[in-house]
Amino acid sequence: MTSPDAPHDGPDRPGVLGSSLVGPLLMILLIAVVSGVLAGLVGVALNLLLALVERVAFGDRAGELLTGVGEVPRWQRIVVPTIGGLLAGVGWWRLRRSGPLAQVRDSLDPTTATDPVDRRLPIRRTVADAVLQIVAVGAGASVGREGAPRQVAAALTELVCAAARVVAFERRVLLAAAAGAGLAAVYDVPLAGAVYALEVLLLAGPSWPRLEPARGPRGTTRSGARAWTFAVVIATVTSVVATLVTHALVGSRPIYAVPGSAHWSFDPSWLVLALVVAPVCAVGGWSFRRAVGLGRDLEPGPTWRLPLAVAGAGALVGIASCWFEAIPGNGKTLVEVALAGHASFAALLGLLLLKPLVTSIAIGAGARGGLLTPSLATGAGLGAVLAALAALAGHGLATPPVLVLVCAVGVLAATERAPVFAACFGWELVRPSPAVLVPLVVVAVGVWLFTAAADHGRARLHRSTSRGVSTRP
């Protein structure tokens, strides 16, 4: 009897692309709708859990973490993330003692294991890991909260796929769509959720080559465009359903409310700003990736050192929050401070330098979580610093929040190597006028081109260096 956790890679029934029947397609669409509903419920539940943890940790006003942290004594700012890190670290230690924790990307990768069961997302361990992530973030850990709903939504969809005995291609698309829907549910970003599934998880991931055209049952070649269309439809349906569920339960509003942003008129200077800051954002994104990568190299194994390291990382965040109140958490408060533009230049510079540092330390200590909001916050801090420098030089901007948002998107595009997702995500988080999409797309594409050129240059240098070494006598 087949395990309910096991993905079905065998052709138990005709795949959608290999069948001309309407039935298989309707069944996959039904699974996408069910997956979207599950992702929406997961997003709402985890958001409520995060609010509860923040309230217990920092008081009744902790729903706005900056206010909650600012109103508690300094000893509590240090003790809370330390204890939260210790509790989460003990939980991760216990989970990892029985094996590495599953990742959505690994589950989508057909090369990670020869046995399909090894690529599953076990529901109990996945949910436990997600709860620990929310506890850590709510207590102040500098990691993103979006990793938890992504993996839980994908794990629940894994169960549905197993019950429906979907083929490997459909499973990968459905799991990626579910992860994107989990992101869409917690941040109310349906477009970005769908694009995340397509651009970050499928197109940029190792699973995408398996979606290339293959031989059909009669010797004909399936169209690659058909595979693309299928993936786009499934990702869109799942993300839209997930956000509709959250709207029905908790309403809808932008994560970052900027007064008057819905009425901003297009300014040609925005394009100039986007082009000028694109190389700076590319360097900032590279630096963030490098810092996190160095942290991962130092991550402890599943020993008693793990909870102590996570607790120590929490203590460092708490100490930093005694002077920089926007440091704790996933970075949401830092983005709010940057968009508001009320902080001093020294405070903004400190936040810009500290956020990637404490995030790298948290990852290096063994904390689990997303990196979208920390990298977005780093970019927002960069934009706020540049806007402050322009003001000090006597060249104040008419709309400083636009520069903050442009830099946030630019750094995110560099860290995720996903320009379309970064532009959509940044725009939907604020929901300004559609005119703002123009500089966001320009900076995201500019960063992508700059990063691609830098990668090409490094590859050429490596090849030339290798040839020089090989030809030495």
The pLDDT tens digits of the residues spanning 196-224 come to 999 999 887 654 544 444 444 433 344 56
**What per-residue confidence (pLDDT) applies to 249?**
96
**C-beta separation of 214 from 447 below 8 A:** no
269-297 vs 372-392: helix axis angle to the nearest 10?
A: 130
Report the C-alpha gap between 107 and 143 in whole angstroms: 22
pLDDT value at position 82?
97
CA-to-CA distance for 225 and 366, rounded, in angstroms?
41
Q: State the Cα–Cα distance between residues 393 and 93, nearest whole angstrom.
A: 51
Distance CA 45, CA 40 (A): 9
pLDDT tens digits along 399-447: 899 999 999 999 999 999 999 999 999 999 999 999 999 999 999 999 9
Q: What's the rounded Cα separation, in Å, for the pair 38 and 160?
A: 10
The residue among 447, 440, 452, 445 whose CA lies nearest residue 271 is 440
Nearest to 408 by CA among 383, 437, 386, 431: 383
Identify the segments of the chain with pLDDT beneath 70.
Answer: 1-23, 60-68, 70, 110-119, 205-224, 398, 462, 465-473
Classify residue 203 as exposed, middle or buried by CB count within 10 Å of its CB (0-12, 13-18, 19+).
middle
Output DSSP code: residue 203: I
Place of tokens 């829907």: 181
Write down the pTM of the prediction: 0.88
How far is it, in rounded angstroms, from Cα 354 to Cα 383?
A: 15
What residues contact residue 176 under an 8 Å CB cut-off, 6+ apart? 104, 108, 154, 197, 198, 201, 202, 205, 207, 231, 235
pLDDT in tens, 102-157: 788 888 876 554 444 456 789 999 999 999 999 999 999 999 999 999 999 999 99
Give the bridge partners for 370, in sequence order: 144
DSSP 8-state class, residue 303: S
